């Protein structure tokens, strides 16, 4: 799962230890995708106590079940660090309209911003013909 920040029409990847752990078991071609970009395209964030509490709140509010705590931590990090877009291929627990509404309901009630969640496919730009 990648977090993206859009600065001056440029993408900045916001990464965490959670992403590092996911990449360990990812296929080599997936791990290598990020190596195509120079280091200044990345911003590193840390899993904080605040993010862990927000993630637990998503579970407590039954947005998703207890087995989705890692997904909730990603969403909480993206929310707290105010990324522009969270990109994920997880259509069951993350890129799912009902779940997105649930995460954003909790966020708004607690004073956090809404989070934009999309499939990576939604972020690909196609040249105009």
Assess whether pLDDT exceeds 60 at residue 126. no
CATH 3.40.50 for the 2-123 domain, yes or no: yes
- Give the per-residue pLDDT at 60: 98
pLDDT band at 27 (very low <50, low <70, confident <90, very high): confident
Domain ranges in the chain? 2-123
pTM, to two decimals:
0.83
Cα dihedral angle (20, 55, 7, 38), rounded to 10 degrees?
0
Q: In what order do the strands lie in the sheet with 2-7?
A: 42-44, 10-15, 2-7, 85-87, 117-118
């Amino acid at each position: 799962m990648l977090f993206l920040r859009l600065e001056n029409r440029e993408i900045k990847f916001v990464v965490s230890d959670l992403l590092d752990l996911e990449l360990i078991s990812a296929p080599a071609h997936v791990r290598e995708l990020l190596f195509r970009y120079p280091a200044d395209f990345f911003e590193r964030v840390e899993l904080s106590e605040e993010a862990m509490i927000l993630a637990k709140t998503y579970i407590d509010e039954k947005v998703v079940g207890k087995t989705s705590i890692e997904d909730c931590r990603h969403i909480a990090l993206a929310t707290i660090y105010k990324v522009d877009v969270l990109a994920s291929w997880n259509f069951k627990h993350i890129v799912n309209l009902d779940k997105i509404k649930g995460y954003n309901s909790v966020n708004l009630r607690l004073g956090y911003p809404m989070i934009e969640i999309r499939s990576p496919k939604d972020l690909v730009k196609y040249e105009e013909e």
